Structures are given as structure tokens and as C-alpha cells.
């Protein structure tokens, strides 16, 4: 990426992508997309269980997980990159959750088999290799510890308190746990959404898993639950064709929670379901969603503070499913239902020539230049030397990394670079020569 500071700030700092700029045509049918932390790579989960990693600079596939065995054999349900970009979690309808180490992408580093298809998987944010998975027809989510070679699985359910008891002592059926997300600020908080429209908040610690809050948002399935980077906005896409956007407030100790409904997004005319939802960065000023049904081919983007539709991202000719937003390169990826291609919307920044020289001006026609009287006069040698000396005295810091990029995204973390697979290049060369 070119140096963004040199570009036109009004284009660079636009808050959402505007135009369809790229289509990744894959031979396999993509069913979910996920950018790596810094937006360097894009992982595509396919319906046959393959996971392909695209390099976003070249828009070419660079790696396929499990090409030496141990890949998934049913469609991928979710993908999660670790924060440092070295590990990937995948969950699939073949009942497995697998963890991949991109240093050796040929085989899964860890794998766990459940007794039914796995809906989602994501990293726990406590800094260890741990994962939260939600599984088909299971009342509770699962916590998987992936640190050791043989992962251990435990149910996330409060044993101390009787979980089936509501506030008034009556037993409550929360239904199956379908979705889960970790709170980005309070690293020990897990939010889960259930098939009966409940949100349950757990506090996870080494010793116990404590249910600390429940809240009912609807009487239907939670399909997706997302939380903003700042942790105070939550959106839930549920099977009643509504996306509910809540403001989540809590006290300092994170013991009391309050959900305030801000907006409900519905397609009032066609009553369409929403296929996928995603928040923009930081405090989530925008919400983007894809719609179910063959008539809709666009992504809708709302402003979360007013609830108004501000942009329709168009350009595709098929229904869109999963959505992921790369805040670093300001692009949104979504996969099509029919072809399985991946569409990418991004910013188109017009070239700004004045960046090359500060006094550069674009002119409509040629102007004959008239030299000013003193324009090329030699300035006093001494003065010049002094100026040069001064310029040299200013120390330029080339080592300290900035912690935020122009758009306010955190960049202080290390980005893992997927090593080049020389072996396969050697093999290709050999095959070429043989055949």
C-alpha cells in the first residue's frame, strides 16, 4: 500500500469502501471469508472443506490448508485468524474444529472432533491458544484448550449456579447456543446467543465459568452476533428477519450489564432475512449486511448512530453471503451464493500529483514559464551550509513503530508472513520438466 499520508486525505479517510474493485474467481465454491488481522491475507472456506489463503497484494492464492492430509471434508462454517496471523481456526460441518499453523500449513496442528456439525469457532482473547466453539444442538458453547498437543474440551456452563433458573426461580430454557463472541475489552467475557433469543454473558477464568448476565432480545434464533471493537455496540441478526443493534453498558467491575436497543434493521417491503452482518472499526459507526434471496445482490450499509441507510454496495449479480471488512486497506469482501466467487469493494483513491512536489500544480493547458529575476540566483554559501547543517541535526526516528495507522487502526502488533513453500515450487518445476 502506498503511503496513505501522501494521498488525498478526503479519499483516504472515507469511512467505508465504495466501489466493487476486484472479483476473486475461485474454482471452488466459497462459503466464508476472513481477512487476517492486518488485511494481508484473505482466507476462503469452501463448500468441499478446502481452505485457501489469498495474498491480498497480488490477489493470488498462495496456500491451501491441509494439502498434505487432514483437511475438512464438508463445508467450512467459520474461520478465525489469530491476532498475530500465524494460526487459523476452522470449523466445519464435518464435526471438526481444526487449528492450523501457517508455518506448516500442510497438516492441521490440532484438531477436535465433536458429535455434530460445528457452527462457529473463535479465539479466546486471553492470550493463550484457546478457542470457543458452538456446536449443533448443544445447549452450551465449548471451550477448547489448544496449547497442548492433545486439546482438551470443556463445556462453557455455570456449574455453581443452576443455569436453568431464571431470576424469579422458575426454570428457563435458553435453547441451544448458536453464536458466541468474546468481548474485545474485557478479555474474560464471553457473549453467547441462543436459539431461543437469549444472550448469555459468561465470565471465563481458569477455575470456573460463571454466568453473569442473561438478556432476551427476541423469540427466535440468533443467527449472528457481532460486537464493535470498542465493545459497546452489539448487533444480533436473528431468524425473525431483524438485525437488532444494542448499546451495551456495564459498570466498572463488569458485573452489571445494560442492553439498550438502538435500532432495528428490517427489510419492510420484502421481509428478507439477513445473510451476514459486520461492523466498521473502533466504535462501529457503520453496519453492513447482506440479504437473503435471489432478488437482492447488494450489501446495505447503515450509519449506526442514526440508523439510516447511507450506502448500497452494488456491482454483483448474485446473492451475497458472508461479509468481512478489512479496516487496514478499507475493503469489504463478500462471497456470492451461486458462483462462489469473492467480491471485494474498496476505495478508489485518485492519484494526487502534488504529492510528488509540494508546489506542483496541474494545469489545463501549457503555460510558458517566465523565470523570475532572482529565481536561480546562488544563495550565500554560508547560509546554505547552515541550513543543511540544521536539517542534519534533526534526528529522524526510523526504528520506533507507530502504533496506529492513518485510519486509526492499531498496527503495533507483529504480522506473521506466510513462508514461501519452496518445496512445491521445486515440485512444479520438476513436473514441468517431466511432462
Partner 1 sequence: MGALPDWCPTYSSRKRDSSTGEEVFCICKKPDSGELMVGCDGCDDWFHFSCLKIPRKYNKLVFSFYCPYCQAGVTGPGSRDGNLPKTLWRRKCRVQDCFKPVADNSKYCSEEHARGYLQGLADRVEVRGYDAALVLRQMLQNADLDAFKSLGQNGVPKPSDALAPRLFEDDARLCDLESQLRDLRDRDKPQVESQLATLVQYVTWVQAVNELLFDGSNVQAAAALSQSQKRKRNIKPKAMCGYCRDLRIPCSAQDFAPRFDEEQLSIEGVCCKLRCSRHLDWAGIQENGLRFQLETFESSEERLTLLVKIREDQLKMQFYRKMVDHGVDPQPPLLANE
Q: How far is the CB of 415 from partner 1 (least distance, A)?
A: 30
From residue 77 to residue 106, the character string flagging contacts with partner 1 as x (rule: CB under 8 A) and all else as - is ----------------xxx-----------
Taking CB under 8 A as the rule, does residue 351 contact partner 1? no
Which span (245-253, 287-295, 404-412, 422-430) binds partner 1, by CB under 8 A?
Answer: 422-430
CA atoms within 13 A on the CB side of 325: 27
E strand spans, 158-282: 177-182, 189-194, 198-204, 209-216, 222-227, 233-238, 242-250, 257-266, 274-279
Q: Which of 38, 66, 276, 340 binds partner 1 (CB under 8 A)?
A: 66
Interacting positions 282-321 with partner 1 (CB under 8 A): none
Which span (16-24, 251-259, 285-293, 424-432) binds partner 1, by CB under 8 A?
Answer: 424-432
Taking CB under 8 A as the rule, does residue 428 contact partner 1? no
For partner 1, the closer CB: 48 or 306: 48
At 434, which helix (H) or strand (E)?
helix 422-434
Q: Which of 351, 372, 423, 435 binds partner 1 (CB under 8 A)?
A: 423
Taking CB under 8 A as the rule, does residue 219 contact partner 1? no
Q: How many CB atoms lie within 10 A of CB 276?
A: 23
Closest by alpha carbon to 38, among 280, 279, 328? 328
Taking CB under 8 A as the rule, does residue 115 contact partner 1? yes
At 35, which helix (H) or strand (E)?
strand 30-35
For partner 1, the closer CB: 307 or 419: 419
Three-state secondary-structure class, residue 223: strand
E strand spans, 87-126: 87-92, 96-101, 108-113, 118-123
On whether the CB atoms of residues 181 and 225 are closer than 8 A, the answer is: yes
Query: Residue 12: beta bridge partners?
Result: none
Taking CB under 8 A as the rule, does residue 116 contact partner 1? yes
Taking CB under 8 A as the rule, does residue 47 contact partner 1? no
The residues that touch partner 1, with contacts defined as CB under 8 A, are: 49, 66-71, 73-74, 93-95, 115-116, 136-137, 423, 426-427, 430
Amino acid at each position: 500500500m502506498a503511503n496513505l499520508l501522501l494521498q488525498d486525505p478526503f479519499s483516504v479517510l472515507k469511512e467505508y469502501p465504495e466501489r466493487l474493485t476486484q472479483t476473486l474467481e475461485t474454482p471452488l465454491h466459497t462459503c466464508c471469508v476472513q481477512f487476517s488481522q492486518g488485511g494481508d491475507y484473505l482466507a476462503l472456506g469452501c463448500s468441499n472443506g478446502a481452505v485457501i489463503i489469498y495474498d491480498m497484494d497480488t490477489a493470488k492464492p498462495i496456500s491451501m490448508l491441509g494439502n498434505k492430509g487432514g483437511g475438512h471434508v464438508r463445508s467450512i462454517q467459520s474461520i478465525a485468524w489469530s491476532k498475530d496471523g500465524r494460526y487459523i481456526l476452522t470449523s466445519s460441518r464435518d464435526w471438526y474444529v481444526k487449528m492450523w499453523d501457517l508455518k506448516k500449513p500442510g497438516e492441521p496442528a490440532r484438531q477436535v472432533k465433536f458429535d455434530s456439525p460445528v457452527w462457529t469457532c473463535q479465539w479466546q482473547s486471553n492470550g493463550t491458544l484457546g478457542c470457543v466453539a458452538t456446536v449443533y444442538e448443544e445447549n452450551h458453547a465449548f471451550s477448547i484448550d489448544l496449547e497442548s498437543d492433545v486439546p482438551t474440551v470443556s463445556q462453557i456452563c455455570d456449574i455453581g449456579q443452576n443455569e436453568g433458573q431464571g431470576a424469579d426461580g422458575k426454570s428457563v430454557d435458553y435453547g441451544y447456543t448458536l453464536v458466541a463472541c468474546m468481548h474485545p475489552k474485557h478479555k474474560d467475557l464471553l457473549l453467547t446467543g441462543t436459539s431461543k433469543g437469549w444472550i448469555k454473558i459468561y465470565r471465563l477464568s481458569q477455575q470456573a465459568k460463571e454466568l453473569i448476565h442473561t438478556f432476551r432480545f427476541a423469540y427466535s434464533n440468533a443467527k449472528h452476533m457481532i460486537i464493535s471493537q470498542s465493545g459497546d455496540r452489539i448487533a444480533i441478526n436473528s431468524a425473525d428477519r431483524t438485525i437488532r443493534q444494542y448499546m451495551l453498558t456495564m459498570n466498572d467491575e463488569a458485573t452489571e450489564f445494560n442492553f439498550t436497543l438502538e435500532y432495528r434493521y428490517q427489510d419492510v417491503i420484502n421481509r428478507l432475512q439477513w445473510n451476514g452482518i459486520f461492523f466498521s472499526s473502533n466504535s462501529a459507526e457503520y453496519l453492513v449486511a447482506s440479504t437473503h434471496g435471489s432478488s437482492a445482490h447488494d450489501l446495505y450499509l447503515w450509519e449506526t448512530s442514526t440508523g439510516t441507510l447511507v450506502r448500497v454496495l452494488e456491482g454483483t449479480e448474485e446473492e451475497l453471503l458472508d461479509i468481512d471488512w478489512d479496516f487496514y486497506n478499507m475493503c469489504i469482501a463478500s462471497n456470492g451464493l451461486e458462483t462462489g466467487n469473492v467480491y471485494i469493494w474498496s476505495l478508489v483513491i485518485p492519484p494526487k500529483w502534488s504529492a510528488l512536489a509540494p508546489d506542483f500544480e496541474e494545469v489545463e493547458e501549457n503555460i510558458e514559464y517566465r523565470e523570475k529575476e532572482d529565481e536561480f540566483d546562488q544563495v550565500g554559501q554560508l547560509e546554505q551550509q547552515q541550513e543543511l547543517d540544521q536539517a542534519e541535526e534533526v534526528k529522524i526516528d526510523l526504528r520506533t513503530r507507530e502504533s496506529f495507522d492513518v485510519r486509526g487502526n492499531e498496527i503495533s502488533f507483529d504480522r506473521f508472513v506466510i513462508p514461501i513453500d519452496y518445496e512445491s515450487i521445486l515440485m512444479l518445476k520438476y513436473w514441468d520438466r517431466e511432462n
